Amino acid sequence: NAGVTQTPKFQVLKTGQSMTLQCAQDMNHEYMSWYRQDPGMGLRLIHYSVGAGITDQGEVPNGYNVSRSTTEDFPLRLLSAAPSQTSVYFCASMVGTIVGNIQYFGAGTRLSVL
């Protein structure tokens, strides 16, 4: 199993450009989510999905779109990049266990918007 795979690892955009951050998991997890991490702010939920065809907003959804056409893939789209979206983005999948719902994180995408 590769786990959760994110691409690209690094990206530099100009203000106003659009792009898609890719996320794929091979563990057949129904739940997937996107977070952004800024210094001193912890991990903030952008969007999440509880299964193919179902998505919902998290804490900071503005400026981002998601779709979930398959169980494996959960891409995050930046519609018109802004400097405020400079951040590290983590994708995660989650599975229910006897203890609780355990999350697995991708390696992250470091995005700079100039």
Partner 1 sequence: GENVEQHPSTLSVQEGDSAVIKCTYSDSASNYFPWYKQELGKRPQLIIDIRSNVGEKKDQRIAVTLNKTAKHFSLHITETQPEDSAVYFCAAIPLGYQKVTFGTGTKLQVIP
Residue whose pair of structure tokens reads 């509880």 in the numeric block: 50
Q: Which of 15, 70, 101, 112 binds partner 1 (CB under 8 A)?
A: 101
109 vs 60: CA distance, rounded Å: 17
Is 2 a binding residue for partner 1 by CB under 8 A? The answer is no
Say how many residues touch partner 1, by CB under 8 A: 26
Is 52 a binding residue for partner 1 by CB under 8 A? The answer is no
Which has the closest alpha carbon to 82: 64, 57, 58? Answer: 64
| Helix, strand, coil fractions of the chain, as percent rounded to 5 | 5, 55, 40
52 vs 1: CA distance, rounded Å: 20
Shortest gap between Cβ of 99 and partner 1 (angstroms)?
Answer: 6
Shortest gap between Cβ of 113 and partner 1 (angstroms)?
Answer: 20
Shortest gap between Cβ of 58 and partner 1 (angstroms)?
Answer: 6
Pairing of strands 4-7, 76-78: unpaired
Q: Which of 43, 61, 71, 86 binds partner 1 (CB under 8 A)?
A: 43
Is 45 a binding residue for partner 1 by CB under 8 A? The answer is yes
Instruction: Look up residue 109 and give its two tokens.
Output: 């995408």
Where on the chain is the footprint of partner 1 (CB under 8 A)? 30-31, 33, 35, 40-45, 48, 50, 58-59, 90, 94, 96, 99-103, 105-108
